[in-house]
Structure 1
């Protein structure tokens, strides 16, 4: 049985290959992608060679440029879609720098518009996205445990366990663990 770090390294390698493929499909140089995404050429190059594990913010910028959600991008590096995804088989991705853990709960399917994601933020974790991966993306955030501060553009919302926020994302967003315990939430994502 593979160890968790071996699984993470394998996902990072497939993700790196997919990022390089998306850029090649568009015929863009690293410089062109850097201009479009606001990410340095060297960081993009290292991400495409799996020398670094991309952060959530970096993946969000690339998803914006490529017009896909993070879940869709991550599902593209997984196996063929299945209708049932057991808990033990659900892909988990971690942004080690920010303390964010993301579990893709829904079985991936490129033809469907909705998906469920479980998010966990460690105490003090703070993630800011400068733009949505897909403009007009509909999101529902349902907090299961802990407290979460969510800022959509400039509107701040404090969510406690049981609270649910629905939003359509057009600009910057920020997720911050608001307490001294982990914030755990379900994110329902619906493509426009």
Structure 2
């Protein structure tokens, strides 16, 4: 995988902070109201919008749920219009070192298209939980390339191994965990309902 330059990361985070502030304004919400909708503290929201801190995967997930967007949709809103051919060096990479999570937007959201493709890597012990889907009924297809991914959907836990594909519609909480001593690498295709 290619590396994203520090300048690209700074530009992305600056645009993301501005987009988060604009989304809140579009909804007519105060910081307190957004805190109630998202479960993210008012002080964290304020610091995110001023770009004093970088959002974690968990915080972005909560904000995406409040705004009814997938994380990829939100990130696509802060990037230039993607070309039809997305070369490896053009694919946006998001890292949450504290959570042990890396996501590459292989085929980012595009106006008029309902699907997107994301490559994800979870480090051993990584455990990501989402309280609700950003969009109810979002279709997921997960194809594991290496390692073992433990996925819990609707209270049902499954181990997905290399070559396996798990598909479902997401209506409630979800949990993704790296099961084992090796990182898990997988492709996630999402399709809007």
1:160 aligns to 2:185 (yes or no): no
Counterpart-to-counterpart distance in 2, 1:59 and 1:3: 20
**1:26-175 equivalences in 2 (<5 Å):** 26-175=27-176
| Alignment coverage as a number of residue pairs | 191
What is the CA distance between 1:49 and its match in structure 2?
1.3
70-79 vs 102-111, which moves further: 102-111
| Structure 1: 4+ residue segments shifted above 6 A | none
Instruction: Give 1:32 deviation, angstroms.
Output: 0.6
Tell me if the contact between 1:124 and 1:177 (Cα under 8 Å) persists in the aligned partners. yes
Question: Which region of structure 1 is more displaced relative to structure 2, 45-54 or 112-121?
Answer: 45-54
Distance 1:47 1:180 in 2: 33
How big is the shift at 1:129? Answer: 0.6
The whole-number CA distance in structure 2 between the counterparts of 1:61 and 1:153 is 18
Give TM-score, length-normalised by structure 1: 0.95
* RMSD over equivalenced CA pairs, Å: 1.3
In structure 2, C-alpha distance between the alignment counterparts of 1:121 and 1:42, rounded to whole Å: 29
In structure 2, relative to structure 1, the CA distance for the partners of 1:3 and 1:166 (3 Å cut) is closer
Q: Which runs of 5+ in 2 are unaligned?
A: none
Report how far residue 3 of structure 1 moved.
Answer: 6.9
- Give yes or no for contact 1:72–1:110 (8 Å, CA) kept in 2: no
